[in-house]
Amino acid sequence: MLASNFQLLLCLTGITLNGRLLRPSPPGAVCHPSQPTYNTSQCSQIADEWKTYEFHVANPISVMWDKFDNFTCLPDEDTPCSPAGYPAYVVNASTAQHVKIGIDFARKYNVRLNVKNTGHDYLGRSNSPGSLSIWTHNLKKMTYNKGQYRLNGSGKILQGNSITVGGGSEMYDVYVAADEHHEVVVGGGGKTVGIGGYITGGGHSVFAPKYGLAADNVWEMEIVTPGGDIVIANEDRHQDLFWAMRGGGGSTFGVVTSVTLKTHPSPKIMGVAYMVFTDPKESIVFDLITYIASQIPSLMAQGLSGYNLATDDMATPVQVPGISDRIAGFLGSTVLQDVDSPDAVAKIFNPINETLHERWPDKVQFYTLLTEYDSWLAWFSQNYDTNVAGGSQYLVSRLLDGEALTGNPQKLKSALRTAITPSGSIAVFMVGGKGVQEAKPRGGSNAVNPAWRSAYVHALTSEPFGPFNKTAENNAKAILDTEFQPLRDLTPKSGAYINEARCFFAFPFEKNFQQTFWGSNYARLLRIKREVDPTDVFWCAPCVGNERWEVRQDGKLCKK
């Protein structure tokens, strides 16, 4: 479609959107004298805020990592600036009807469609250059449902507490709303994670080892389909769509405008921060890392969950007498639920401590810091993800099962050495285990990668690179591809978590992304995609059913 026609039709459509049709300038344009929005005072402010998640959440087109707008307008006047890397227009949706209008327009006039909530997406699915974008940020209504919930359509009564939240809700706000009723949801580790993309990707959590993934706790969803229908999907209505939207990936089958999540009693939390470490120069570094990794299934069986880092050399994160400036080993920010005695923590770690003293006397130190919290929200408010936005990085991940962690220590050691050595560390998230393996989603199953059903660990790492530096970018890709290949070889029947991975088609880390992200579920997902979206109104990468299209060098999306 010609740009002038696109503009005219959108202006006419805007009449029915009551001013919610936006044509935003790139946020970095305020720093460029050639741009109409140039403003030196705003430039200074934006340059300061660019590294915060909150800035990109609040902007209708900005995303959290610069690579995904192709560095087209950074807040730096010494770099180029154009709107070419961003959506052309935005529907600022606050109702499902607004979403429908945007989808109907894109389908009718064959316009590329984009969906953005917070822009917190490691795969860049929140941005499509030149597109019409649906901004779900203002779909935030929340309703707590006490005692029982009646499914729309069938009238079936589900027993238990739940909360219905808008598709644009952010994680911290959902936690706060649930906490008002002394409840929690299975949710993520970042304040600004958007609920729609989180749920559709599966959603790991420190609560997952007890209650299953976030997608396993969904009772009902309101969805605007590629055909423009506003539907309620649950175990009795639109069952295929309900199945696919819980783990099948975002920006593919429709837009989530609200979701009802099962809630659980908010536990008291024992925060367990720990370090098991040695001197980076010691020859036992990877023996130590491998041993601690092998104990993860046992630790999780005793209730420990959370986030770990395995490193062969890093600056000590805490200043404690007797601990050197640099360490190697395992570090964790983990939790135990409804435990209020330090003795319970000691009981969990004592067997490990004894083994450490037997194998490596005087070479390994074990440091713990225990903090009690009255609620999950109290812990989260002090321990949420504090990483920065802006910049660029690629990320790669793998789900590790019990056999990978305990079956062959030498293969695990070799794989961990290869994964850790180039960048110095990998993240080891304890977010699988019994709750995920034994989950009973409504309707009997969902589209979550079957590899989750045997996983204990979600392992991941990333490599940063700067703007306008293809050498650095390609080097980051090469490092990550090399780093994680041994872990792939160690787990040939496993896969990766779609929301925290990377599949770059010019340089694919996951050469069979369909198998890696969805396994045996992919055939059914593809069938549902073709049924609900036969003309590919929704397209993204790497996403179900995207095989019929490709992005050309000039950025245009074209049929193959």
Residues 6+ apart with CB under 8 A from 329: 275, 276, 277, 278, 285, 288, 289, 292, 310, 311, 364
CB neighbours (10 Å) of residue 314? Answer: 16
Sign, Cα dihedral of 43, 45, 46, 47: positive
- Residue 398's φ and ψ, nearest 5 degrees, are -155, 140
Is residue 241 within 8 A of residue 231, CB to CB? The reply is yes
Quote the CA–CA distance of 56 and 500 in Å, as a whole number.
19
- Any idea which residue has 């969990």 for tokens? 348
List strand residue ranges (DSSP E) for 146-229, in order. Answer: 148-150, 157-159, 162-166, 183-184, 218-224
Q: For the chain, give every domain's residue range.
A: 3-135, 269-374
Strand order in the sheet with 21-22: 21-22, 89-92, 132-135, 113-116
Q: What is the pLDDT of residue 505?
A: 47
- pLDDT number for residue 14: 61
Q: How many CB atoms lie within 10 A of CB 211?
A: 19
Residue 470: other Cβ atoms inside 10 A: 8
Radius of gyration of the CA atoms of the chain, in A:
24
On whether the CB atoms of residues 277 and 387 are closer than 8 A, the answer is no
Q: What is the pLDDT of residue 8?
A: 57
pLDDT of residue 523: 99
Q: Which helix (H) or strand (E) holds 40?
A: helix 40-49
User: Which amino acid is residue 394, in one-letter code?
Assistant: Y
State the alpha helices, DSSP H only, in 421-555.
Answer: 434-437, 470-490, 513-518, 522-532
Distance CA 367, CA 386 (A): 23
Domain 269-374 annotated CATH 3.40.50.10470: no
Cβ contacts of 489 within 8 Å, gap of 6 or more: 415
Instruction: Return the pLDDT at 509.
Output: 56
At which residue do the structure tokens 């917070």 appear? 118
Q: pLDDT at position 1, please?
A: 47
Residues with pLDDT less than 50, the chain: 1-3, 505-507
pLDDT confidence of residue 556 = 83
Q: Which residues are CB-contacts of 288 (< 8 A; sequence separation ≥ 6)?
A: 276, 277, 278, 328, 329, 330, 356, 360, 364
In single-letter form, the type of residue at position 307 comes to: Y
What is the maximum span of the chain, computed from C-alpha positions, in angstroms? 76
Distance of CA 484 to the CA centre of its chain: 19
